[in-house]
Structure 1
Amino acid sequence: MQLTVSGSQGAIAGELTVPVSKYHLHRALVLASLAPGRSVIRGLSETRQVVWTIGVLRALGTRIEVVGDSYVVDGGPYSTREPVVDHGSSSAEGLLNVGSSGTTLYFMTGLASLADRPITLTGMKYFRRRPIKALLDALGTLGVRYESTDDCPPIVVQPGGPEGGHVAIPGTLSQWLSGLLLLAPFARRETTIEVLGELNEQPYVDLTVRMMRHFGLEVEVSDDWRHYTVKPGQTARPAEYSVPPDIGSAAFGLAATALHPSDVLFRGLHARASGETDHPEAEFLDIVRAMGLPLLRDDATGCVRVRHDGLTLAPIDLDFQPIPDLLPVVSALACFADGTSRFHNVAHVRLKESDRVNAMLQLVKLGGKLDDRGSELVVTGVDSLVGAPMSSFNDHRVLMSLAVAATRASGQSRLTYPRAYRISYPAFLDAMTAVGLDMSVPSRGAASDGARGGRSRQVLAS
């Protein structure tokens, strides 16, 4: 089974509804689970990453109910006494299934030490090959007791919580640092965290700190974001929180409108520049504007509308150290720019669900010009692309980015692991076809895209 994309030069039109931000929702759910009392989080998500997080928290005794457009979360001490089975997580077995959600794994490994029994964290078969040695070493330094073979899931975490103290961790992935920060308030001694080397993905750490403060947890941060001090023995406070729209999901619709004559309304998205929204990937709005995409304000709704009869995109020079997850979709856009784009500090982009730098080099198969220079990716725009078979490496961002690029290639392209988009943007396929793009997953018999299909055996690059 593959995702089939037929290219076109034609116009697209209609509406795209922008889902809520999974970055905010992960953090809000986790923090609400730690806060004794009731929290209300406005904004629902069907992403598998969030579904796995909810299953994990329910197995730890957190009551999470959907009421209208909100999650109602009754938080407090983690307890496995009540029998719960949810998306592979089981309280009776002390088993937390993180699926293929790196965020869930990194956030919950340390927090599992707050449970009332030994907890095993595991995930999908291929995901169990993801090494997290740097985070495990740091958690061990803080006094978390765990067992793991080859520093990969499954990981058995013993109860007792963290002791605290000083710990240093590489700044390679923000999720490692966020995992330590979320755990530190519950230590028995003050915790100080030092970042070694360059800090990548700083906007995501900033989001973690701000949301911790929203739920009543104190964190001191140095001006350079390399040192953190967290007081011990804190108690999170229940709160209400409204989840903003997800710029990361909107990026694929915006990219499609940049590649085709368009009249598309982005319902739910009001921001036209990074300074107008609270999202770690808000810079994408500035990027596409700089490349020439007109983000207009729709008078009737106040939402963003893209309307044009065709564009010549400008090349762009970008530092991807703070925004690694945007590299795939921006690479796709750069293939159609009038000139050469240069993307700096991309080494850590290789540590995601796949080596995303290498994965996007597949655009060369379509006729693109991309040059991987280690820490830099250089993309030179071309006049046209031609459809070809490619692999998504079961990576949601790679699949969606290559698919959007393929909509401007002549002929047909095919992509493996066609359901990967459901990890983060379940409505992607419906959204793209709704505005007129030709994408489909041919069914097997009467089965739909979501009904069948094998799981990937791709070994993750990270």
Structure 2
Amino acid sequence: MVGGGRQTVRVADTSARRAPTPWTAPTAKEPVATTFRLPGSKSMTARALVLSAIADGPSTLRRPLRARDTELMAAGLRAMGSQVSTLDDDRWVIRPNPLAGPAHIDVGLAGTVMRFAPPVAGLATGTVTFDGDPRARQRPLGPLVGALRSLGVRIDSADSGGLPLAVHGTGRVAGGEVEIDASASSQFVSGLLLAGAAFERGVVVRHAGPPVPSAPHLRMTALMLRAAGAAVDDTTPDVWAVQPGRLSGRAWIIEPDLSGAAPFFAAALVTGGEVTLLGWPRTSSQPVDRLRALLHEMGGEVSLGTEGLTVRGTGAVHGLDADLSDVSELTPVLAALAALADSPSRLRGVAHIRGHETDRVAALARELKALGADVTESHDGLEIRPRPLRGAPFQTYDDHRLAHAAAVIGLAVPGVEVDDVACTSKTLPEFPALWSAMVAGS
């Protein structure tokens, strides 16, 4: 039921109903040594899909990520009228059409879908409804809904300001200036910017509140908008402006997913091995330099060569004291490394990940303690003091990053029983097979 004081709309229950897949994380008997290729970045794939759907001509995505989140985004745009062909795994084709409802969009548990698609729905003619998995109704969305209303979009929402939603599009959005508190998610800003060039007056977004997390994702949004022909000004701190104008269809080459590679790189540190991610570009819109610095501080050696990005373990894993606000998606993997390190760690600046697929701070503290780690949970992070770990059940809470953390610990600790490895299908369906092959040396 959607209610916002304007109209009440019934939407279907789109909760995921798949059986969990238990999995024993494999333990490494020797240093891993692997060279592998990952599918494209989830963040780049989602942004390219949105920009392509509102462009003035066809676009292609080369090497996109095919996973639950990106399939849901493609399905949502398709429901509003865009022609989105995903038959070829290596080359998706998007042909924009006039956007229209009635349509329903299942966001699953994807922050990108629930925050990027509603501004696009404002450009449609007709009503577009949104709902998703039960946890999706708890994820922050209110600031984006309020911003869209102030820009001229009629939206009905749940009393919380979040899902389920009904966007009543008129085929146009007035746009203009809006102030928003984006401290819970940079995706609030990105969602407005990605659709902003199609607004009649463009959009100027001013952030008011604690620092916006995941700043590299905002830089990615600005870079990709410019690549599509938009005029973007992000020179003033906490202010982003997109001028009204037509976006061009184009060929997008999607980079490998850095967040998806993080657990594999961590495996090199844990086992003293070597892992190379093929196809890494010389320049990237993803925070590769930050990841390189963090892994180096924890005892790894990171280099970019002709083949790709390589991480080598040195036989030791060191503790880390770091503000991870700009790379918060790495927190679960880094927490797993910290539990196996030779000195204490403090991971901070990540209060906002309590609103991700699960409360990641609380979930990590609970599951690491169950394995025997000494963990103190704070409002914005974790303090982890290593001690001998033991095998035990590890709950994922339907969160792919929690499964990644369990896999990293399982390399060194036999008997880590993951309750549901299938949750990794959210961003990398091949994860269990790739991981097991790496550990087996095949």
Q: Normalization by structure 1: what TM-score? A: 0.84
1:179 alignment partner in structure 2: 191
How far apart are 1:427 and its partner, in Å?
A: 1.3
- The answer on whether the counterparts of 1:18 and 1:269 sit within 8 Å (CA) in structure 2 is no
Residues 90-239 of structure 1 aligned to structure 2 (within 5 Å): 93-150=102-159, 151-160=161-170, 161-172=172-183, 173-197=185-209, 198-224=211-237, 226-232=238-244, 234-239=245-250
The Cα offsets for residues 412-451 of structure 1, whole Å up to 9 and x where unpaired, read as 121223211010111110111101259xxxxxxxxxxxxx
> Hey, what's the Cα distance between the residues in 1 that align with 2:359 and 2:26?
26
- Give deviations 1:62-86, integer Å, cap 9, x for gaps: 1122457222221243145xxxxxx
Whether 2:286 is the aligned partner of 1:286: answer: no
Question: In the alignment, residue 302 of structure 1 is paired with which amino acid?
Answer: E
In structure 1, what is the equivalent of residue 15 of structure 2?
none
Give the total of aligned pairs.
Answer: 415
Matched, 1:77 2:98: yes
Structure 2 CA distance for aligned equivalents of residues 136 and 168 of structure 1? 12
CA displacement at 1:190 relative to structure 2: 4.8
Q: Pick closer, same or farther for the CA change 1:149–1:244 going to 2, 3 Å.
A: same
Shift of 1:44: 2.8
**RMSD between aligned residues:** 2.2
Distance 2:260 2:77 in 1: 24
**Per-residue Cα deviation, 1:186-233 (whole angstroms, up to 9, x for no partner):** 223353221012222111111111111111112222332x1123333x
Partner of 2:277: 266
Of the structure 1 ranges 392-401 and 122-131, higher mean CA displacement relative to structure 2 is found in 122-131
1:387 Cα deviation after fit: 0.7
Shift, 1:157, TM fit? 0.4
Aligned to 1:331: 335
Q: Distance in 1 between matches of 2:89 and 2:347?
A: 43
**Which of the numbers 261, 270, 277 marks the counterpart of 1:250?**
261
SS at match of 1:404: helix
Distance apart, 1:407 and its partner CA: 2.2
- The answer as to whether partners of 1:264 and 1:435 remain within 8 angstroms in 2 is no
Q: Which runs of 5+ in 1 are unaligned?
A: 81-92, 439-462
Which residue of structure 2 aligns with residue 391 of structure 1? 395
Is the deviation greater in 136-145 or in 234-243? 234-243
Identity of aligned residues (%): 28
Name the SS for the 2:60 alignment partner.
strand
How far residue 283 of structure 1 moved from its aligned partner, in angstroms, is 1.8
8 Å Cα contact 2:26/2:436 also seen in 1: no
Q: After superposition, what is the alpha-carbon deviation per residue over 1:317-350, rounded to whole angstroms, capped at 9, x for unaligned?
A: 2111111111111111111222122222121121
- Note the alpha carbon deviations across 1:336-372, whole angstroms, 9 max, x for none: 2221222221211211111111111121221222211
1:356 and 1:155 map into 2 onto residues whose CA distance is 25
- Equivalent pair of 2:25/2:410 in contact (CA under 8 Å): yes
Change over 3 Å in CA distance of 1:375–1:436 after alignment to 2: closer
Secondary structure of the 2:205 match is strand
Tell me whether 136-145 or 341-350 shows the greater mean CA deviation: 341-350
> Aligned partner of 2:143: which letter?
A
| Counterpart for residue 303 of structure 1 | 308
Contact 1:77/1:114 (8 A) holds in 2: no
Q: Conserved in 1, the CA contact under 8 Å of 2:27 and 2:439?
A: no
Deviating above 6 A after TM superposition, structure 1's stretches of 4 or more consecutive aligned residues are none
Deviates more, 1:416-425 or 1:181-190: 181-190
Aligned partner of 1:370 among 372, 375, 380? 375
Offset of residue 263 of structure 1: 4.2
Q: Is the 8 A contact 1:281 1:323 kept in 2?
A: no
1:431 and 2:441 correspond: no
